[in-house]
Amino acid sequence: MALAITIADIDAVAANIYVFGTLTASGNYSTGGDTLDFTTVASQIAASQAPVQIWVGGSTGDAYSWVKGAALNNQKVKINTASNTELASGAYPARITGDASIQFEAVFNKLI
């Protein structure tokens, strides 16, 4: 299931748009990463192209990494556990679904 995006702030400077917010995990995690679909918030950030960079971090000791996609709707976030192995495919563990501090920063090219 895709990660839900909540935007906290948008900073449009120079040639980039910086989007800050939180992610909410629910449902199941898939091997290789869970989908991060920015089409759900595209009207808020005025973006039509994939981000150029994303950072994700939480408070559980798990490591989050961005897997670049070609479009707004197919970015992925891969999760490695504290023991540096990928999170097992299946239902998200409670430590992740209960983490209200999964934060992200995404950088998009400004549409001129």
pLDDT in tens, 4-61: 999 999 998 888 999 999 999 999 999 999 999 999 998 898 888 999 999 999 999 9
**Side chain identity at 27, as an amino acid letter?**
G
pTM value surpassing 0.75: yes
- Per-residue pLDDT at 46: 84
